[in-house]
Every structure is written in structure tokens, then in C-alpha cells.
């Protein structure tokens, strides 16, 4: 007769991890409020002389794309609350990912403050570090399946969406820094190449994650708004490629998901 596994023993290190994730989430939320223009801050699109505005480079998503941050932050706060529950204190997945989650939140806050200070080049270093952390975090989540649907949405879904959006945000941020440093990023050929790479990353992520919807959704959303922004500017070639890149990511994600279910 089989017996249920004994509950994982918890200790002060688990309580500390939970507390750090929760505090980091609150800090990230406060700093994001500053980055929205509230509490005396400058909106990100206007900071650094508009280097990160929707029209700054050919790979910058249109303004409405950034509304996704509202969904991401809501998910991150929900994740922080969820992992605080005593039942999740010794959760193996949280032990494997909690500190990485906290690191992503702190880097998120650091990125906003760096942009607010007008340091666009330095912000590329920060967002690149954030992207690496999210890749590791998402990879660790893929190592095991969520035990409940709520965990799947709150933890895996939030991190996946976060990763997908930061992927395209890193592209836009890098292009803005190159432009600010005098390098020409206004050629359609350059933008097309970058968007093709973004689509390839999306396809790889879809295959690697066996069709997890959230990362594909975050990346496809950003690419679609690049298409909208360039269409409004009359940059037809870039708009079409961005739209196709978004469609490729969506199709690859759906195909990988269907294949995994079979």
C-alpha cells in the first residue's frame, strides 16, 4: 500500500526566500509607478530624451504595447502572494526558482531607475541581465510541471509572459542605445534582420517549452505592435516583416502545443 510523501521540511531559509520575493515585488511595483510618471517620475517614453519612445527606432513597439506591463505586474504580485502561503514554503519549484524571481524583480526596478537617470547604454546591460535571469527562471520551471492550474497560471504563466515581453523589449532597448551612440539603426534591412532573429527565438522557445502559451504571447504581442507602429509611419517593409514574425511565433507555439498533447 503506497503512502503520500512526507511534507518537505521547512526552515528559516525558506521564510527568508519568501520574504525577499515579497519585498522585491513591492519594490518593483513602487518603482514601476515612478516609471509611469507618477510620484515625481518621468514616463519611460519621455525619459532619456525619448530614446525609448514608440517612434525612436524601427524595432520599437507602438505605445499601447506597453499596457502588457499591467498584466505582468499583476501576475508578479499574485505570484509573490501565492508563494508566501505556508503551504508553498517548502515547495521544490519555489526553492528552485524563488531567488531567481526576486532577482528578476530587482533588475526590473534597476532598469527603470537607470532609464530615469538617462543612462540608456547602461540600461541595456541591466535588461540583458534581466533577460538572462528570466531564461534561467523559465528553464527551471520547465524542469517540472505545476501541481495545480492556479500555479500554472500564476507562476508559469506570469514568468512566461514576462520573458516573452522582455525579449522584444531587449531588442528595442539595444537599438535605442546604438542609435544614441551614433550607430545607424534606421535602415530597413537592419530591422528586418533583427525581427527575423526575434522570430527565431520565439520558435526555439515554443519548441523548448513544448508550446507554453505565455512566452509566445508576450513576444508575439510586442512584434505585432512593432508592425502597427511601423505601418503608421509608412515603413511598409518593416511592418510586414514584424507582422509575419508575430504570426510565426503564434503558429510555432500552437504547433508545438498540439504536438506535445499528442
61: confidence class by pLDDT, cuts 50, 70, 90: very high
Q: Is the pLDDT confidence value at 262 over 90?
A: no
* Residue 77: partners with Cβ closer than 8 Å, 6 or more residues away: 25, 29
The backbone torsions φ and ψ at residue 141, rounded to the nearest 5 degrees and listed phi first, read -70, -35
The arithmetic mean of pLDDT across residues 252-260, rounded, is 95
Q: Provide the Cα torsion 58, 60, 62, 63; round to 10°.
A: -140
- The residue-averaged pLDDT of 217-243 equals 97
**Calpha distance 43→65 (Å, rounded):** 15
Residue 8 has what pLDDT? Answer: 60
More confident residue, 261 or 225: 225
Interval 14-25 mean pLDDT: 97
pLDDT score for 4: 39
Residue % of the chain over a pLDDT of 70: 97
Q: Band the pLDDT of 140: cuts 50, 70, 90.
A: very high
Q: Compute the mean pLDDT over every residue in the chain, rounded to the nearest whole number.
A: 93
In terms of pTM, does the model score above 0.75?
yes
Q: Within its chain, how far is the Cα of 155 from the centroid?
A: 13
Q: What is the pLDDT of residue 51?
A: 86
CA atoms of 80 and 24, how far apart (whole Å): 9
The total number of residues written for the chain in this structure: 262
Number of Cβ within 10 Å of residue 226's Cβ equals 32
Q: What is the DSSP string of 149-172?
A: HHHIIIIIIHHHHHHHHHHHHHHH
Residue 5 has pLDDT above 60, yes or no: no
CA 204 to chain centre: 16
pLDDT tops 80 at residue 9: no
Please tell me the distance from the alpha carbon of residue 170 to that of residue 127, in angstroms, as a whole number. 6
Does position 3 have pLDDT exceeding 60, yes or no?
Answer: no
Task: Look at residue 1 and tell me whether its pLDDT is greater than 60.
Answer: no
Q: Which residue has the cell 510618471?
A: 37
Amino acid at each position: 500500500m503506497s503512502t503520500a510523501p512526507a511534507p518537505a521540511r521547512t526552515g528559516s531559509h525558506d521564510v527568508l526566500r519568501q520574504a525577499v520575493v515579497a519585498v522585491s515585488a513591492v519594490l518593483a511595483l513602487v518603482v514601476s509607478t515612478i516609471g509611469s510618471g507618477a510620484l515625481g517620475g518621468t514616463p519611460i517614453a519621455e525619459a532619456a530624451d525619448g530614446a525609448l519612445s514608440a517612434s525612436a527606432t524601427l524595432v520599437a513597439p507602438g505605445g499601447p504595447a506597453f499596457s502588457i506591463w499591467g498584466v505582468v505586474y499583476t501576475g508578479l504580485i499574485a505570484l509573490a502572494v501565492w508563494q508566501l502561503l505556508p503551504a508553498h514554503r517548502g515547495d521544490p519549484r519555489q526553492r528552485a526558482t524563488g531567488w531567481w524571481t526576486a532577482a528578476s524583480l530587482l533588475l526590473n526596478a534597476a532598469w527603470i531607475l537607470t532609464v530615469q537617470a538617462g543612462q540608456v547604454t547602461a540600461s541595456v546591460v541591466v535588461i540583458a541581465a534581466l533577460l538572462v535571469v528570466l531564461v534561467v527562471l523559465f528553464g527551471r520551471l520547465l524542469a517540472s510541471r505545476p501541481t495545480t492550474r492556479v500555479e500554472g497560471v500564476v507562476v508559469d504563466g506570469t514568468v512566461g509572459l514576462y520573458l516573452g515581453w522582455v525579449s522584444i523589449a531587449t531588442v528595442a532597448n539595444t537599438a535605442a542605445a546604438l542609435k544614441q551612440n551614433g550607430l545607424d539603426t534606421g535602415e530597413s534591412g537592419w530591422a528586418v534582420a533583427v525581427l527575423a532573429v526575434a522570430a527565431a527565438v520565439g520558435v526555439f522557445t515554443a519548441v523548448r517549452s513544448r508550446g507554453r502559451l505565455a512566452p509566445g504571447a508576450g513576444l508575439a504581442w510586442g512584434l505585432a505592435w512593432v508592425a502597427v507602429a511601423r505601418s503608421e509611419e509608412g515603413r511598409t517593409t518593416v511592418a510586414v516583416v514584424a507582422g509575419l514574425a508575430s504570426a510565426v511565433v503564434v503558429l510555432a507555439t500552437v504547433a508545438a502545443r498540439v504536438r506535445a498533447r499528442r
